[in-house]
Amino acid sequence: MAVNWFALENDIKAILKNPQWDDGHIGPVLVRLAWHASGTYSKKDNTGGSDGATMRFNPESSDGANAGLEKARAMLEPLKQKHPNVSRADLWTLAGVVAIEAMQGPRTPWYPGRTDKEKPKTAEIPPNGRLPDASQGSSHIRDVFYRMGFNDRDIVALSGAHTLGRCHTDRSGYTGPWTNTPTRFSNQYFKLLVNETWTKKEWNGPLQYEDSSKELMMLPTDMALIWDAKFKPIVEEYAADKELFFKDFAAAFGKLLELGVKRPAAKL
């Protein structure tokens, strides 16, 4: 039986606001789930990506980069039970798309057709270490995103997702939100990168940067976007033009969610 996509999208929208969760909204962690499910892709051997929903299995489930995402997967599980014909791989990626739109962001092109692996062979589960390490610089960022098939412009656009959500000491070791509006999708992240003075945070945790109010944060990989001569002008473009950022983000996020999906290529 076919999935009622309209009803499913409405059911996703209905669970987004959640007073028990960070900032009263689960949208940011759902976006991170869609991204981490997809960002394991390697174009060299066409492995990884969202198809298969392999994040349910080791070693991907216990990759340190995915800490906390078990909660996001669990929050979507009742929708899988209510819409049994949707694959988890489609559900996780669609939830990210619906969340961004509900948080006033653009609509990302998204196509169904992913299937779930039930007993994946080890070779079908992406190894740990394919997702970016926040303590590193621009050459690492390029290694990771070029492996997925992205260019510098895509990298900067995708990084703008950090306008949403926050870091948690019990997940990544980092702490705090990037913006004062972590549940509203905007180009605020780029504006802050360009306009704020960022200094090293004095604390016992990993190196991160704070703004003059000490309430907002940047990871070393976020700072790399303004320290790198090729990334910086793109950051400035997006800081100045929200519509351009929305257009480029939707295209790059749509491409991310398609990586490694094994069905006739979707028209993007």
Q: Report how far Cα 246 is from the mean position of its chain's Cα atoms.
A: 15
Which region among 26-34, 80-88, 102-110, 237-245 touches ligand DDH (by CB under 6 A)? 26-34
181 near ligand DDH, rule: CB under 6 A: no
Which region among 40-48, 54-62, 81-89, 159-167 touches ligand DDH (by CB under 6 A)? 159-167
> H or E element: which one contains 240?
helix 231-240
Q: Which of 12, 53, 158, 218 binds ligand DDH (CB under 6 A)?
A: 158
Q: Which of 94, 102, 161, 250 binds ligand DDH (CB under 6 A)?
A: 161
Phi–psi pair at 200, nearest 5 degrees: -65, 135
Phi–psi pair at 199, nearest 5 degrees: -125, 160
Which region among 8-16, 31-39, 108-116, 117-125 touches ligand DDH (by CB under 6 A)? 31-39
Phi–psi pair at 83, nearest 5 degrees: -120, 75
Selection from 161, 142, 144 nearest residue 32 by Cα = 161
CA–CA gap between residue 228 and residue 66 (Å, rounded) = 27
Q: Three-state secondary structure along 159-203?
A: HHHHHCCEECCCCCCCCEECCCCCCCCCCHHHHHHHHCCCEECCC
**Least separation in angstroms between CB 133 and ligand DDH:** 6
16 near ligand DDH, rule: CB under 6 A: no
Q: Which of 174, 189, 209, 246 binds ligand DDH (CB under 6 A)?
A: 174
Give the residue at shortest CB distance from ligand DDH: 165
221 near ligand DDH, rule: CB under 6 A: yes
- Give the nearer residue to ligand DDH in terms of CB position, either 53 or 219: 219
CA–CA gap between residue 97 and residue 256 (Å, rounded) = 11
Q: Which of 253, 254, 258, 260 binds ligand DDH (CB under 6 A)?
A: 253
Q: Which of 13, 15, 61, 68 binds ligand DDH (CB under 6 A)?
A: 68
CA–CA gap between residue 142 and residue 225 (Å, rounded) = 11
Residues near ligand DDH, by CB under 6 A: 22, 28-29, 31-32, 35, 68, 132, 134, 141, 158-159, 161-162, 164-168, 171-172, 174, 219, 221, 253
